[in-house]
Amino acid sequence: MQVPASVDYERATSLSHAIELLERHGPEARIVAGGHSLLPMMKLRLIQPEVLIDINDLSELSYIKIEGNELRIGAMARHAELLSSPLVGEHFPIIVEAEKVIADPIVRNRGTVGGSLCQADPSEDLSAVFSALKAKLVIQGSHGSRTVDATSFHDGPYSTVVSSDEILIEVKIPIRPGCGCAYEKVERRVGDWAIAAVGAAVYIEAGVIHDAGIGLTAVGSEHFNAPEAEAYLAGKSPSPELISEAARLAAENCHPSADQRGPEDYKRHLVQVLTERALTTSVERATRGGF
Amino acid sequence: MHVKMIVNGKEYESEIEPRLLLVHFIRDELGLTGTHWGCDTSNCGTCVLWMDGIPVKSCTVLAAMANGRVIRTVEDLETGGQLDPVQQGFMEMHGLQCGFCTPGMMMTARWLLDHNSNPSETEIREAISGQFCRCTGYENIVRAIRWASEHQDASAESTKVGEVVA
């Protein structure tokens, strides 16, 4: 029987109340949203917070909308909501493809976007997606909000730049012309964490990739990205050879480690194959026809 | 802490430790043992019940988080002595052997049919993909849910609880 250690419980009624509770209880307090990453870790006693601050009543953080040229996702949006959102499907198939392979439908009913990001599991899928899409993350504290790039959100495994009196409130994804994006994941069984997964986004205008994003997860990329491959693609015309070389660079520069999901060379191989596939699909989507 | 919630239409109140899981609250405090407690790691899905109308794995929700919410468990499927078409379908199509996964399967199936009255086999398999059955190979569970979708008005003809099936 798995039971969390003793913990106190508070329920926040608003964003400002949540921040006030965080300030009052200090660094031993943890926000709980869906709880589907946090509670399993508490059951295993890998995390023992003194206080849980439940933010499930914060409907103000539960939205998916377009504002200006950005898709904005509130931190309390559930995985199932992201998966079924027509706005998300229209603009970012990468998100839909990733969400389909995150856990299972019942877990997705409960798990949240903000919770997944803040849990910061090194095998987490949305971190790679938001890296590829060069999303911005909005973090709120009592003295105002700040915005950080998705690629500078993590400062280590299970660790983020959100401090103990702050809360992640929103993900902002730029909607830019000529975008094509895709997600590719290999898992041991349905709903498992990735052995390796790759998200890609390319922005093509007049036959040239003017920007590219490649997100990696589960392969030791601290910021869930592949900057060498991204830089290589920028300013060039898409071709199978170009994509192969970018995939090679992504595989060469990541840092997978051997574990029960496979040896290092296998994971590196996966990164190469999956990057190639994700980029090829992204180019097809951006140009509605391919090379 | 003090919690109050509506379970199957009835209000319950209790003093609990905040670390108590919802599945244990439902089973041990309320005595509603239809909801099963399985893997404890949100994988197997036998603990699925509805919270505010959405299926959730109750081994991964604190009872404290369910405070003030509306819960529906497998005990609520049968009404007035009549089985829900989903329950009837599991019986007609032999959708269970040991029965351990059945409450979670049925709660997910009921939710699926409420939102998609005529699901394809693929949609059914997707819906129950977060739930394990170690007896049936899933074939008969899928058939049971298909049966229920084709007999949504079956309550009038369904087996009464306690009736002996020939």
pLDDT band at A190, cuts 50/70/90? confident
- Per-residue pLDDT, A1: 82
Q: What is the mean pLDDT of residues B43-65?
A: 98
Q: Is the pLDDT of residue B153 over 90?
A: no
pLDDT of residue A58: 98
Q: Which two tokens stand for residue A204?
A: 């093509």
Q: Please state the domain extents for chain A.
A: 8-54, 59-174, 179-287
pLDDT band at residue B165 under the 50/70/90 scheme: low
Instruction: Name the pLDDT band for A2 (thresholds 50, 70, 90).
Output: confident
- What pLDDT does B154 receive? 62
Structure token pair of residue A22: 């965080």
Looking up residue B90, the CATH number of its domain turns out to be 1.10.150.120
Q: Collect all residues with Cβ–Cβ distance below 8 Å to B163 and sequence separation of at least 6.
A: none
How far apart CA A106 and CA A94 sit, in angstroms, is 21
Q: Which residues of A touch B126 (CB under 8 A)?
A: 105
In the predicted model, what is the mean pLDDT of chain B? 94
Distance from CA of A290 to the nearest CA of B (A): 30
pLDDT band with cut points at 50, 70 and 90 for residue A285: very high
* pLDDT on residue A189: 87
Render pLDDT for A3-59 as a digit per residue (tens, 0 to 9): 999 999 999 999 999 999 999 999 999 999 999 999 999 999 999 999 999 999 999
Cα–Cα distance for residue pair A176/A17, rounded to 1 Å:
36
Domain that holds residue B142: 85-157
pLDDT category of residue B162 using cuts at 50, 70 and 90: low
* Sign of the four-CA dihedral A111, A116, A118, A123: positive
Q: Where are the beta strands (DSSP E) in chain A?
A: 8-11, 29-32, 51-54, 64-67, 70-74, 136-141, 144-149, 154-156, 159-160, 167-174, 179-187, 194-205, 208-217
**pLDDT at residue B156 tops 60:** no
pLDDT of B160: 61
Average pLDDT (B70-77) is: 98
Looking at residue B158, its pLDDT comes to 58
* DSSP code at position A136: E
B165 part of a folded domain: no
B42 interfacial to chain A (CB closer than 8 Å): yes
Level-2 CATH architecture, domain A59-174: 2-Layer Sandwich (3.30)
What is the sign of the dihedral through the CA atoms of A182, A160, A78 and A36? positive
User: Which of residues B76, B99, B129 is at a domain's end?
Assistant: B76
CA neighbours within 13 Å on the CB side: how many for A60?
11
- Residue B166 pLDDT: 46
Residues B116 and B93 reside in one and the same domain? yes
Alpha carbons B24 and A15: distance in angstroms, whole number? 30
CATH topology for A179-287 is: Enolase-like; domain 1 (3.30.390)
Does residue B125 contact residue B108 with C-beta atoms inside 8 Å?
A: no
Whether pLDDT at A63 is above 70: yes
**What is the mean predicted confidence (pLDDT) over A58-82?**
98
What share of chain A has pLDDT > 70, as a percent? Answer: 99
Residue B48: is its pLDDT beyond 80?
Answer: yes
- In three-state secondary structure terms, B41 is coil
Contact A32 B1 (CB under 8 A): no
B106: in domain: yes
A8-54 belongs to CATH 3.40.50.2000: no
B58 domain-assigned: yes
Q: What is the pLDDT of residues A234-252, one digit of tens each?
A: 999 999 999 999 999 999 9
Identify the residue among A56, A78, A102, A106 best suited for mutation to test binding to B, counting B beta carbons within 10 A and taking the highest.
A106
What is the distance of C-alpha B108 from the center of its chain? Answer: 6
Distance (Å) from the C-alpha of residue A168 to the closest C-alpha of chain B? 20
Overall number of domains in chain B: 2
3-state secondary structure A239-254: CHHHHHHHHHHHHHHC
Is residue B42 included in any domain, yes or no? yes
CB B56 within 8 A of CB A105: no
Instruction: Tell me if B126 is assigned to some domain.
Output: yes
Is the residue at B7 inside a domain? yes
What's the pLDDT tens digit per position in A125-171?
999 999 999 999 999 999 999 999 999 999 999 999 999 999 999 99
Check whether B87 has a pLDDT greater than 70: yes
Element (H, E) at A285: helix A264-287
Determine which of B27, B46, B65 to mutate to test the interface with A (most A C-beta atoms within 10 Å).
Answer: B65
**pLDDT value, residue A191:** 86
Residue A290, pLDDT > 70, answer: no
* Complex confidence, ipTM: 0.94
pLDDT in tens, B6-24: 999 999 999 999 999 999 9
Quote the CA–CA distance of A63 and A78 in Å, as a whole number. 9
List chain A residues with CB under 8 Å of B19.
3-7, 42
Say if B163 falls within a structural domain: no
Q: Is A184 helix (H, G, I), strand (E, B) or coil?
A: strand
Pairing of strands A154-156, B54-57: unpaired
Do B130 and B150 share a domain, yes or no?
Answer: yes
The CA R_g of chain B, rounded to the nearest whole Å, is 16
Question: Backbone phi, then psi, for B132, in 5-degree steps?
Answer: -100, 140
pLDDT, residue A8, reads 98
- Closest by CA position to B33, among listed B41, B25, B44, B45: B25
Alpha carbon of B66: minimum distance to chain A alpha carbons (Å): 10
Residues B51 and B98 in one domain: no
Clarify whether residues B61 and B109 are in a common domain. no
